[in-house]
Amino acid sequence: MPKADRGTALAHQAEPGTPAERAEASWQYAPAPESRDVVSIKPEYGLFIAGEFRPAANGRTFGTINPATEEPLAQVAEAGQQDVDAAVAAAREAYEQVWRPMPGSERAKYLYRIARQLQERAREFAVLESLDNGKPIRETRDVDIPLTAAHFFYYAGWADKLEYAGFGPDPRPLGVAGQVIPWNFPLLMAAWKLAPALAAGNTCVLKPAETTPLTALLLAEVCQQAGLPPGVVNIITGAGDTGAALVSHPGVNKIAFTGSTEVGKEIARAVAGTGKKLTLELGGKAANIVFDDAPIEQAVEGIVNGIFFNQGHVCCAGSRLLVQESVADTVIERLHRRLTTLRLGDPLDKNTDIGAINSSQQLAKIGELARAGEAEGAHRWSPPCQLPDKGFWFPPTVFTGVSQSHRIAREEIFGPVLSVLTFRTPDEAVTKANNTPYGLSAGIWTDKGSRILWLTRQLRAGVVWANTYNRFDPASPFGGYQESGYGREGGRHGLAAYLDA
Ligand code: NDP
């Protein structure tokens, strides 16, 4: 069989279902590509320090590529120690001279301006994010960019009301915030970090992930456009060494990190004893629990959204499906059927459900864990699926026959891979759900409100969704327990992380 064109539906060979279902599932969709013309990508990007773009002091750069095609997109400056020093110094000066003394009502105006610019340039941001990250345009357009603007709007509203936020009559900012973010929601994570910090009166030095620097740099242009005073936001691109230099910089008062538990632990060690305030938003291995009284079709949509949204590159992904034994066969059968209708391919195609894996390293990691699942005896299933020739791709994958000791039930895969376990009683569901070193999120699917309330008290997870999954709102706090980190982002709680309260 020839390789599928990008944007075609997953191909079907010997799939389950009646002939009518198979005929429906094999419909081909005409490509509906979003235009790339709204974005002009420069060949080279500098560091954003003190309100201007500049090359790295040592002249070093690195490339960023489109993971769906492996096409080089741009060269980006790689910040070394001297650049980190310059960014922190610019942030300090802006903090002392401009941002801290400024009334909250004035700070709010800048945040509102940034939010409005994000909305006006939403299409440009959405296309650029899909190009640099590999995620489908449907998601960048409908989730990443609107939520990013919503975060700035939300925290703009708090900037002049800090004394009413419940942190005492005169809560003070901390100073300079060093912020390190991952590649799975590049622009949204920048907003989660910058918006509350700025609203609370701090200045920022942000380091985006090496594989997804472009939307943060476009956000730097928006800061210029909004007239944000120089040095209030500084964006330094680079790899782990740049992040480590920022974290250990003595001029930084607060560190906020989102990423792997491993690096989070390193950062906690580096920050210990320095007096810097720290929030960590790390990995997860969430249980998505389906009871026998759940609305099954709705639950199947929730399972799909829980693990295949953003190719499963989601810290709170519902990567462990716990399904009550009496309905397990039905749920798996309908899940298989639903997965055969997902379309994998060109992230810029508006029909695409599953885009590219963000990097070859991440693809290798997902592959390694999936092979471990098979080797340990779990049953692997994917819809028949032809992957594009170039780029980094992994088909939606479901493992059944998974036991709690399997690596795929314990480790964060951070890819489109679901591990299915079963349970008989609510107590068993709780025990299995909590049998993880993480504690970021969980999902419950049941008809009974009382069961939802009981379970939410039993589950050791920072966020519990009931009869829905992966819902985000800037007003709602988000964060974890145990190896998922500490501190909360979003809502009033998110302000506490940036106030000396
Ligand atoms: P990392 O935790 O390594 O990266 C997150 C951010 O931290 C990036 O900006 C990274 O830089 C930076 N960084 C790396 N090392 C250091 C350091 N020593 N000090 C300070 N900053 C540092 O995640 P990866 O991208 O390597 O992904 C690895 C795994 O982590 C994934 O497979 C997934 O399981 C998990 N992960 C979890 C996320 C979550 O939200 N929970 C998000 C991303 C990954 P750079 O990338 O530029 O090198």
Helix, strand, coil % over all residues of the chain, rounded to 5 = 40, 20, 40
Neighbours of 498 (CB within 10 A): 29
**303: phi then psi, degrees, rounded to nearest 5:** -65, -45
Does residue 184's CB lie within 6 angstroms of at least one atom of ligand 1? yes
**DSSP E strands, 326-416:** 379-381, 397-400
State the distance from the centre of ligand 1 to the C-alpha of 208, rounded, in angstroms: 10
User: Rounded CA gap, 182 and 43, in Å?
Assistant: 23
Question: Is the CATH code 3.40.605.10 the one for domain 37-282+481-498?
Answer: yes
User: Rounded CA gap, 450 and 447, in Å?
Assistant: 9
pLDDT of residue 14: 46
User: Rounded CA gap, 454 and 439, in Å?
Assistant: 17
SS3 assignment, position 497: coil
Task: Tell me which residues of the chain have a pLDDT lower than 70.
Answer: 1-27
pLDDT of residue 13: 44
State the distance from the centre of ligand 1 to the C-alpha of 220, rounded, in angstroms: 22
pLDDT of residue 142: 98
State the distance from the centre of ligand 1 to the C-alpha of 259, rounded, in angstroms: 4
Does residue 500's CB lie within 6 angstroms of at least one atom of ligand 1? no
Task: Find the farthest-apart pair of alpha carbons in the chain and give their distance in angstroms, rounded.
Answer: 71
Residue with the nearest Cα to atom 13 of ligand 1?
A: 240
State the distance from the centre of ligand 1 to the C-alpha of 457, rounded, in angstroms: 31
Residue with the nearest Cα to atom 42 of ligand 1?
A: 259
Does residue 362's CB lie within 6 angstroms of at least one atom of ligand 1? yes
Hey, where are the domains in the chain?
A: 37-282+481-498, 287-466
Does residue 84's CB lie within 6 angstroms of at least one atom of ligand 1? no
| pTM attached to this predicted model | 0.94
Residue with the nearest Cα to atom 21 of ligand 1?
A: 243
User: Rounded CA gap, 417 and 408, in Å?
Assistant: 9
Tokens 């759940």 locate to 294
SS3 assignment, position 478: strand
pLDDT tens track for 22-59: 555 556 778 899 999 999 999 999 999 999 999 999 99
Q: Does residue 179 contact residue 197 with C-beta atoms inside 8 Å?
A: yes
Question: Is the CATH code 1.10.540.10 the one for domain 287-466?
Answer: no
State the distance from the centre of ligand 1 to the C-alpha of 211, rounded, in angstroms: 10
State the distance from the centre of ligand 1 to the C-alpha of 182, rounded, in angstroms: 5
Residue with the nearest Cα to atom 45 of ligand 1?
A: 239
Does residue 258's CB lie within 6 angstroms of at least one atom of ligand 1? yes
Q: Mind telling me the catalytic residues?
A: 281, 315
User: Rounded CA gap, 81 and 249, in Å?
Assistant: 9
Does residue 247's CB lie within 6 angstroms of at least one atom of ligand 1? yes
Which among 315, 407, 414 is the best mutation to test ligand 1's pocket, defined by most ligand atoms within 8 Å of the CB?
414
Residue 436's region, left for phi above 0, alpha for psi from -120 to 50, else beta, is: beta
Does residue 46's CB lie within 6 angstroms of at least one atom of ligand 1? no
State the distance from the centre of ligand 1 to the C-alpha of 164, rounded, in angstroms: 35
pLDDT of residue 330: 98
SS3 assignment, position 53: strand
pLDDT of residue 28: 73
User: Rounded CA gap, 8 and 27, in Å?
Assistant: 9
SS3 of 460-473: the string is CCCEEEECCCCCCC
Does residue 268's CB lie within 6 angstroms of at least one atom of ligand 1? no
SS3 assignment, position 159: coil
Which among 260, 369, 407, 408 is the best mutation to test ligand 1's pocket, defined by most ligand atoms within 8 Å of the CB?
260
Q: For residue 189, which atom of ligand 1 is closest to its CA?
A: 40
Amino acid at 448: K
Does residue 183's CB lie within 6 angstroms of at least one atom of ligand 1? yes
- 234-to-42, 90, 176, 207, 289 alpha-carbon distances in Å: 19, 8, 11, 9, 42
pLDDT of residue 274: 97
pLDDT of residue 18: 65
